[in-house]
Chain A
Amino acid sequence: MSTDSIEARVQRSLYGARRWHPAEIAFWVLALAAFFLLPRQLLILNEIAILGLFALSLDLILGYAGIVSLGHAAFFGFGAYAAGLFAKHASADPVTGLAVGMSAAGLLGLLTSPLILRGSDLTRLMVTLGVALILGELANSLGGITGGADGLQGIMMGPVLGLFEFDIFGKVAYLYSLAVLFVLFVLARRIVGSPFGLSLRAIRDNPLRASASGVPLHWRLVAVYTLAAAYAGAAGALLAQTTQFVSLDVLAFHRSADLMLVLIVGGAGYLYGGLIGAVAFKLLQDVIASFTPQYWMFWIGLFLVLFVLGGRELIHGGIKAVVGRVARLGRRAST
């Protein structure tokens, strides 16, 4: 076997992974169909889309590059404040604001990335947590800019693309968030299916061997960390724009922790994990909390414990089986 054939095989497998699976198409059709089928739930759907994007961002670094983070809210919050302040002082156009939020968070990711290059997982947990805490305290003490504990108010958003005004039912908000999520998802999907994405997985599985094979460890990690930060910033910007408000808790620890849970529920390392986790987590929370507003956390906690103890394989196995069946059906239909 020559090296040529290995390259060809890798290329083939990458192309194969890049092809859209019928279950994936079904997922996005469902997401769009939800807009028409669940007109009463658009607000929570919008929140799910934002949380999904945020989880996607964590999946990029955790699932693909193996970087653990307990402070991902730092980028989420930074993007939210950047977008909020931009809307308040510069321009009310949502798409420009989104770009500003993404770039600001991406820049922060780039600047803080040297911190995650060193040390083990434990130090990374602490360092990322520390960055988020520092930002949280900064946002609190720079009350003149951020509004401090009262939150950033007076954000008035213009219509999306100059056409669609945000409405009280959350119609435009959901479609806007979903569109952004979809575009960024497709981009992420393309990136992880590229040789770059493959090298990330190599780093995750065995950094020593990856660097021995000539993968520039540091630059790859910096690149993906910056990218993930920009994604988290986009999620934050969406939240700021669709709720027209930014409060200190966008930087709070519980956001990073919840995000970890979302990814645990959905499973890391296949991009859809964050999205599925976000749907499951939010729906569970909403349904249980409307039954028992005081004790819903108990049930969520119980669910998570059981889930981690054993249900996870069951549920994921079930999903995989369904996906396999759909794929077979799709193949049969196409032949």
Chain B
Amino acid sequence: MTIRRTVLKGMLGLALAASVSGAALAQDAVKIGLILPMTGPFASTGRQIAAAANLYIQEKGASVAGKKVELIVKDDTGTADVTRRIAQELIVNDKVTAIAGFGLTPLALATAPLATQAKTPMVVMAAATGIITERSPFIVRTSQVVPQIGSPFGTWIAKQGTKRVITIVSDYGPGHDVESSFSEAFKAGGGQVENIRVPLQNPDFSPFLQRVADAKPEALLVFVPSGVGAQFMKQFVERGLDKSGIKLIGTGDLTDDDILNGMGDIALGVVTAQHYSASHDSPENKAFVEGFKKANPGLRPNFMAVGGYDGMHALYEGLKKTKGEGGEALVTAMKGMSWVSPRGPISIDPETRDIIQNVYIRKVERVNGELYNQEFETIPNVKDPTKAKK
């Protein structure tokens, strides 16, 4: 009897100890929920960001401020209501300190009210429409804002003496943003611009390209979602527009590092503007690209990856400042933070929680047998021009 009782007591004690240590462990862990489109048409976004986030943890160690970092990667298939449900589950069930990821604008917008309601910091690593950061005071963005690229590019193109440009953009939110920000800046610089919109789903560019061929502008600006760029390039060459003297320009989405090398020689000479190129010349970037390629053979980091990497950095540094605390303190800690990222010097605007970064003008060239966006001019410290005006 007594023996049995002691055994029972011992077991009870063990169970208690186990549950206490379990609770202690849970307290000592910082969980970060990473919600990304890992399948479906935007799977490459998710793959890039997840790979970069894992790389960051691998490099910097899986603990911050004395707590273990646990990354929970979830697939939202690029569907807004699923993103929201997953975010809600992560907040309510897993008690995550922060949520991150968000491959597309509607996915981020659907989740924004939750971040406010639960006071959970939300790091946007990809979605790029301007309004996102205004939808919740808990949102911090480490990717880009569309007008941040389009506007300075318009000014720069006008400065090169170009007078007539036609724009072709996919008919959806970010496409409209590129069109308006570029056109506005370009017109302000004294240029003339004509706008064409093409359907987002399965676009056939040939009728639009014919219009361009007839109008003979000096340059053609293109914005299509990454992936469709290769298709566009092919039709551009098939129509013989590459020999017509019309210069092809665009935002970096056109010559995305992820697919650029597969485009072949037709991409050579295309001038684009963006915040990141895998060939950016800095020791930080060299280390980043090397680490990334080593962990993911056959994959080259693109601007999505760098957004994920920097997002993790913002969270890590923020958590160091707050000693592992989340909520408003973490957002405050990330505000105004500045560091040297693989893409160059960047900072988080303390007022808008949006990213301030350099925009580079690049040209596609062959380097060591591979195609790269070679940066040749820098426009330093660009803020989101729309918010800066307010």
Contacts and interface: CB of A to CB of B under 8 A. Distances in A.
B88 A43 contact: yes
Interface size on A, as a range, is 20 to 34
Interface stretch (B12-20, B71-79, B270-278, B362-370): B71-79
A293 B38 contact: yes
B328 interface: no
Interface in A188-245: 239, 243-245
Contact of A153 (B73, B75, B85, B135): B135
A243 B89 contact: no
Interface in A110-147: 137, 140-141
A34 interface: no
Interface string B66-97: 00000001110011110011001101110000
A320 B21 CA distance: 47
B131 interface: yes
B200 interface: yes
A329 B81 CA distance: 42
Contacts, number: 95
Given A243-B110, A244-B113, A290-B74, A150 B88 contact: no
Interface in A150-173: 150-151, 153, 168-170
A43 B39 contact: no
B34 to A, nearest CB: 9
Most B CB within 10 A of own CB, among A168, A243, A252: A243
B81 A247 contact: yes
Contact of B200 (A140, A153, A250): A140
B118 interface: yes
A150 B39 contact: no
Contact of A148 (B110, B114, B117, B173): B173
B92 A150 contact: no
A294 B91 contact: no
11 contacts: A47-B81, A137-B199, A140-B200, A150-B131, A151-B109, A153-B135, A169-B92, A243-B81, A243-B85, A247-B79, A247-B81
Interface of B: 36, 38-40, 43, 46-47, 50, 73-75, 78-81, 84-85, 88-89, 91-93, 105-106, 109-110, 113-114, 117-118, 129, 131, 135, 171-174, 199-200
Interface of A: 40, 43-44, 46-47, 137, 140-141, 148-151, 153, 168-170, 239, 243-245, 247-250, 252, 254, 289-290, 293-294, 296-297
Given A44-B85, A150-B105, 8 more contacts: A43-B88, A44-B89, A149-B173, A151-B106, A168-B117, A245-B109, A293-B46, A294-B39
